[in-house]
Chains A and B, each alone.
Chain A
């Protein structure tokens, strides 16, 4: 049963364009996350966010930024895409704190030409 929703499923764009991916969770969770899965299939955390704190992985380029309107939504904006941004972007949510299950959305596949 899907409870973390992502749009679009797939996006193709050109270098330098701005893109925005949407994520919504209906689980009542307090914390949301964005992960990137590269061509080698390694999943890496990009951001975690609740209404109190944004934690940014230090390896994430500044052109990436999370945007949240409320605790059920966390969008991902890429200001000027680069070829190496081609990947699958996965959104997740949890109740936060220590020891809690994360639930993932289906992912958004980005291809930068």
Chain B
């Protein structure tokens, strides 16, 4: 089964609404990373977050590594936030293991 579970699979928001994306890991991990994937396909790193809470603008990531979970909070969503949000776990030299992503659509 999937080692990285993301929920929800998709999310529709009206501009200005907040959203919470969840990521759960089935195995132990060193750290995790949140990415945003543009419709064209390129990946943008949002957070490298081994533990605790990190904030960047309207985005906040909270990771509880012992509980094998992380969340990404989007506040006051904008249409430009539309895209796919991916979380991935890091286990050393084996590279990242990704979830299937949450597809976010924000409408005006």
- Chain A interface (Cβ within 8 Å of chain B)? 31, 33, 35, 37, 40-45, 48, 50, 53, 55, 57, 88, 90, 92, 96-107, 109
Contacts and interface: CB of A to CB of B under 8 A. Distances in A.
Contacts, number: 68
Interface residues on B, range: 20 to 34
| Interface class of chain B by DSSP | strand
B41 A102 contact: no
Interface of B: 30-31, 33, 35, 40-45, 48, 50, 84, 86, 88, 90, 92-98, 100-101
Contact of A102 (B30, B40, B45, B92): B45
B87 to A, nearest CB: 11
B42 A102 contact: no
Contacts of A55: 93-95
